[in-house]
A = this chain, B = another copy of it.
Amino acid sequence: MTAELISVGTELLMGNIVNGNAQFLAEQCAALGFGMYYQVTVGDNYGRMKAVIETALERSDIVILTGGLGPTEDDLTKEVCAEAMGMKLVEDTHTREHLKSFFENNIYKEIPENNWKMAVVPEGAFVLDNGNGMAPGLILEKEGKTAILLPGPPGELYPMFRQQVLPYLQKRQQQALVSRMVKICGYGESQVEDMLLDLIDKQTNPTIATYAKTAQVDLRLTARGEDEKEAEALIAPVLHEIMKRLGNAVFTTDEYVTLEMAVVELLKKKGLTISTAESCTGGMTAAKLVNVPGASNVFMEGVVTYSNEAKMRLLGVRQETLETFGAVSRETAQEMAEGGVKMSGSDICVAITGLAGPGGGTDKKPVGLVFMACCLKGRTEIREYHFKGNRDKIREQSMMKALDLVRLCVLEHS
């Protein structure tokens, strides 16, 4: 089964926004085992849209369209699809009621006349209620081809896809498909591939796909079977073998869990509190932890000690240490972490000091040199890294590795 994406919107052609919807839908289709060979972006123009939709329906089984479902004259996706598939437009009473109550509950005013346009649907379409906006989604089926029309705003598209389109597409798969995500920190993509070479080489069912991210590698295992049980049985031994080989480097097997969520969860489970002491990352690590809802249970405070004076006053780093070894050193990282525990009273402090560049590097201490330390109950683990890339990249890698260092320290020493 093949799927194709058509993104409709002048704002994409003008570069006003990045097409995050396309990435989301492409990843979802890959997880469903659909082949995807084309993605097309087109503007709100009847003729061009029609040509693009007809081509897509000819060469792909399922065409997923996003955008152009709103109430204005520019919004044409539904109309063009209906014509391309030879379907008549009719008013849908259910959607009319839905729109009416959406307006009453959210906008508190009379619905403008042109908005009723959104209650008109191609005859025979499955209507997907929009729980987060006005325009409903639609599924059109005709002569073995399927068009799925979804609203453009991600806050409407994502939940609609997960709650209504995904179950529909899963049913469309003749075979049951089971997918598992393995998220890894601590090894690069090629290291992971080396460690799993024999498994990757002989992969057919389940398939193993690697996704390289900043300081993180994701593996997606996908198995097909007659039913879910059979697919599960195919995936289980491979997953088990991968987990055995990668050990603690795997921080989650849950698709929706991020590294910071895994760290906060682990700290909660162990009843530990944490503080942060950052130099080159400038607060990114604290911000990442705080981004997890409920982080206040484990995260107490953080300091960004950019100047030496701040390192001494807020963390008790000794002037002698800074003068002898420098601000970017193993010794300073250690004193920052240990000072952070002392000052904050938290169980753990993770400290980061490094050179993110672009300036400031020397032969002995080049840009990309980063020290981090994690102090947990009197024991301090220190790491030295030589990161590559620009300032952003160095800081992001530092932040990820610092979070991972916390995770490993807690796993190994608490």
Contacts and interface: CB of A to CB of B under 8 A. Distances in A.
Given A155-B390, A302-B304, A283 B293 contact: no
Interface string A5-42: 00000001111111110111111111000001111111
Interface in A154-182: 155
A307 interface: yes
A86 interface: no
Interface stretch (A89-97, A193-201, A274-282): A274-282
A23 B13 contact: no
A50 interface: no
A38 B41 contact: yes
A401 interface: no
A14 B36 contact: yes
Interface stretch (A262-270, A284-292, A402-410): A284-292
A411 interface: no
Choose among A19, A314, A392 the residue with the greatest number of B CB atoms under 10 Å from its CB. Answer: A19
A36 B23 contact: no
Contact of A37 (B13, B310, B390): B13
Task: State the copy count for this chain.
Answer: 2
B40 A39 contact: yes
B296 A301 contact: no
A344 interface: yes
A286 B304 contact: yes
Contacts of A278: 283
A307 B302 contact: no
B310 A306 contact: no
A294 B23 contact: no
A378 interface: no
Range of interface residues on chain A? 35 or more
Dominant SS at the A interface?
A: mixed
Given A282-B291, A314-B301, A39 B18 contact: no
A42 B48 contact: no
B302 A290 contact: no
A359 interface: yes
A45 B209 CA distance: 19
Nearest to A36: B13
Interface in A329-353: 344
Contacts of A13: 26, 30, 36-39
Contacts of A302: 282-283, 303-304, 306
Nearest to A286: B283
A300 interface: yes
16 contacts: A13-B39, A14-B30, A14-B209, A15-B27, A15-B30, A37-B43, A37-B48, A38-B40, A38-B42, A155-B389, A155-B390, A282-B299, A283-B287, A284-B284, A287-B395, A300-B309
Given A38-B52, A290-B395, A303-B314, 14 more contacts: A14-B209, A15-B29, A18-B18, A19-B19, A37-B45, A280-B290, A281-B290, A282-B291, A283-B283, A283-B285, A283-B304, A286-B304, A296-B307, A301-B306
Interface of A: 12-20, 22-30, 36-43, 45, 48, 52, 155, 209, 211-212, 276, 278, 280-287, 289-291, 293-296, 299-307, 309-310, 314, 344, 357-359, 389-392, 395
